[in-house]
Amino acid sequence: MDLYGEGFNPVLVFNAEKRRRDMHADPDLARYRELVTWADKLVFIYPLFWGRPPAMLLGFIDRMFAAGFAYRDKGGLFPEGLLKGKSVVCVSTMKGPARYPLLWLHNAHKIIMRRALFRFVGIKKVKFFEFGRMESPKGRQKEKLRKVYRYFRTVAR
Amino acid sequence: MDLYGEGFNPVLVFNAEKRRRDMHADPDLARYRELVTWADKLVFIYPLFWGRPPAMLLGFIDRMFAAGFAYRDKGGLFPEGLLKGKSVVCVSTMKGPARYPLLWLHNAHKIIMRRALFRFVGIKKVKFFEFGRMESPKGRQKEKLRKVYRYFRTVAR
């Protein structure tokens, strides 16, 4: 699905009509929940803006990964992850060199996605592709695409 | 300013009418740019969702911190920061304990804000308040507010 193409609204709202406890059943998101429930593997493709995914994707997460759908509070620090058994692939691109998030940002992007989000909802298997120099003619863009294709051919077997 | 209250649209769009190179002069954001230009100190107040600010604030950043307004590319890895000399205060709140982002997320939230964003646009002085257990009756909410008041009273002198 293409969140921009679909005009997805990434703003999570709580108010008298949209109560937090009902978020997991928000009718606007029913189709997305069905897709996530059905899928064994979730693939996120996004550019890095300021060291993290764009607001559009993060807002999709804010709205979708609700208590009662993605996790269930058990009173302790960590909840019961309701998306257990699924795996995730994140393909991210950036203008600068691919080593920048690792060396300068201490992998903050991966920590935010892997630990703060996926681990919390029960997803342990997260594979990252981080591709840099996307605007450079020397960036070997085709080779990057091939790398992703190869990976998916292998896991699809 | 209250981004939710104002109905801010956090979706950054590039297309034939909204070109990336014109983003720094987007007329929809003129008033916000004036405020940022005028201010010596920028204060961001937000809850942590999934270890980082909500999509609403990150979308404000995606749209506002454009090349030509917040920084100027010089060809190298780091640009010239155009917001030099300003300072930032981030007040963030969370449901879990305040030590969680530090111990479990390796301060990824601070790295994303301080290094990936503010440092890049020339802002070196960034102060964080991270308050946890916001929904707990034992959370000493008034004490947290006093801490913030005290800080601002001191810096305002």
Please give the full DSSP string across B113-140, using - where no structure is assigned: IIIIIIGGGT--EEEEEEE--TT-TTS-
- CA dihedral angle for residue A77, residue A80, residue A84, residue A88, rounded to 10 degrees: -30
Residue B67: inside a domain: yes
* Among the ranges given (A39-43, B19-23, B39-43), the one the predictor scored with the smallest mean pLDDT: B19-23
Q: pLDDT tens across B42-101, in order?
A: 999 999 999 999 999 999 999 999 999 999 998 877 899 999 999 999 999 999 888 888
Residue B137 — pLDDT band, cuts 50, 70, 90? confident
pTM of the model: 0.94
Residue A118: inside a domain: yes
Please check whether residue B114 touches A, CB under 8 A. no
The per-residue pLDDT for B4 is 95
Could you give the strand order of the β-sheet that contains A87-93, starting from the edge strand earlier in sequence? A41-47, A87-93, A125-131
Residue B15: inside a domain: no
Residue B13: inside a domain: no
Q: Using CB atoms within 10 Å of the CB of residue A100, give its burial: 0 to 12 exposed, 13 to 18 middle, 19+ buried.
A: middle
Q: What is the mean pLDDT of residues B128-140?
A: 89
Residue A8: inside a domain: no
Q: What is the CA radius of gyration of chain B?
A: 17
**Is it the case that residue B102 has pLDDT exceeding 90?**
no
The per-residue pLDDT for A13 is 92
Three-state SS at A1: coil
A52, B52: Cβ pair inside 8 Å?
yes
The per-residue pLDDT for B59 is 97
Q: Is A72 within 8 Å of A79 (Cβ atoms)?
A: yes
Residue B127: inside a domain: yes
In chain A, which stretches have pLDDT less than 50? Answer: none
Nearest Cα of chain B lies from the Cα of A153 at a distance, in angstroms, of 31
Please check whether residue B120 touches A, CB under 8 A. yes
Please check whether residue B100 touches A, CB under 8 A. yes
Indicate whether this complex's ipTM tops 0.95: no
The per-residue pLDDT for A59 is 97
**Is it the case that residue B19 has pLDDT exceeding 80?**
yes
Percent of chain B scored above 90 by pLDDT?
Answer: 76
The per-residue pLDDT for B140 is 86
Please check whether residue B104 touches A, CB under 8 A. yes
A58, B58: Cβ pair inside 8 Å?
yes
Q: What is the mean pLDDT of residues B112-135?
A: 95
The per-residue pLDDT for B90 is 97
B108, A104: Cβ pair inside 8 Å?
no
Residue B12: inside a domain: no
Interchain CB contacts (distance < 8 Å): A and B:
118
Q: pLDDT tens across B113-122, in order?
A: 999 999 999 9
Domain around B141:
20-156
Give the C-alpha separation, A30 to A81, whole Å.
19
Please check whether residue A103 touches B, CB under 8 A. no
Q: Which CATH number does the domain housing residue A30 bear?
A: 3.40.50.360
The per-residue pLDDT for B154 is 92
Using alpha carbons, select from A9, A34, A13 the residue that is nearest to residue A22. Answer: A13
Q: pLDDT tens across A68-104, in order?
A: 999 999 887 789 999 999 999 999 999 888 888 888 8
Tally of CB atoms within 10 A around B128: 16
Residue A80: inside a domain: yes
The per-residue pLDDT for A100 is 83
The per-residue pLDDT for A119 is 95
| DSSP type of residue A114 | I
Q: Report the domain count for chain A.
A: 1
**Positive or negative CA dihedral for A78, A79, A80, A86?**
negative
Please check whether residue B44 touches A, CB under 8 A. no
Nearest Cα of chain A lies from the Cα of B75 at a distance, in angstroms, of 11
The per-residue pLDDT for B64 is 97
